[in-house]
Amino acid sequence: MKNSLITAVRNEVKLLFEGEGSGHDWWHIYRVTENAKAIAKQEKGADIFVVELAALLHDVGDYKLFKEVNAQEVLITKILTKYEASPKLIQTILEIVKKVSYKGGNEDSTPTSLEGKIVQDADRLDAIGAIGIARAFAFGGHHNRLIYHPEQSPENHLDFDSYKNSKGHTINHFYEKLLLLKDLMQTPTGKSIAQQRHLFMEQFLDQFYNEWEGRHS
């Protein structure tokens, strides 16, 4: 039952995100799912089945991609009901995915379960490091944002609406989100992986500014 549900949901999600070009495509979901399973094996007591299912569904109905009211709850419930998941399991998955996305500086998105913490960490790991840099510029280009504007400073987004409606250039996104994620990891495994990816982003920014200003070392 569990394996067949995972396979069915995987196929549904892969089809749903086929051709998505903002960095939230099927391969993002694939990486998050694989990272989440790897973290779950290191964190004692985690239900790997719940972790994998939630990771596969974490972007279904996300506000960045779906504009319908309550899209997340409606679409996830529809998919899981189609494959006869229990109401209890559906509720568990919904509680996890609602806490996954970053929503701005002062917004509390702390998961309440170990499985939620693992999926959130896996999603945030895919937003930093080399993959995170690539995705940031893919998202910026998809939304017609500048790469950089030296006269536009990063904003301190105090709430979700401010963060969601920001139109700043892509380099600002590093300071408004990506560089903050290292200190927001929930699991020891996530924190360990995040350290190296964070360092890589800092090195990238140093190189970016040197090239922007025509400095050669």
Token pair, residue 215, equals: 């400095």
In a domain, 217, yes or no: no
Average pLDDT score over the chain: 91
CATH number at residue 78: 1.10.3210.50
Question: Which residues lie below 8 Å from residue 10, measured CB to CB, with a gap of 6+?
Answer: 56
Question: Which residues lie below 8 Å from residue 102, measured CB to CB, with a gap of 6+?
Answer: 109, 124, 127, 163, 177, 181, 184
Instruction: Identify the residue with better confidence: 139 or 107.
Output: 139
**CA 171 – CA 169 distance, rounded (Å):** 6
pTM, entire model: 0.91
What is the sign, positive or negative, of the torsion defined by CA atoms of 158, 163, 167, 170?
Answer: positive
In a domain, 199, yes or no: yes
What is the sign, positive or negative, of the torsion defined by CA atoms of 71, 76, 82, 88?
Answer: negative
In a domain, 88, yes or no: yes
Largest Cα span, the chain: 61
pLDDT band at 156 (very low <50, low <70, confident <90, very high): confident
- Nearest CA-CA partner of 197 in 118, 120, 133, 111: 133
- Domain span at residue 83 reads 2-212
**pLDDT of 104:** 65
**pLDDT of 105:** 57
In a domain, 108, yes or no: yes
Is 155's pLDDT higher than 90? no
In a domain, 67, yes or no: yes
**CA 26 – CA 189 distance, rounded (Å):** 24
**pLDDT of 161:** 63
**pLDDT of 103:** 67
Instruction: Identify the residue with better confidence: 203 or 215.
Output: 203
pLDDT band at 106 (very low <50, low <70, confident <90, very high): low
Q: Rounded to the nearest 10 degrees, how much is the dihedral formed by the CA atoms of 65, 67, 68, 72?
A: 30
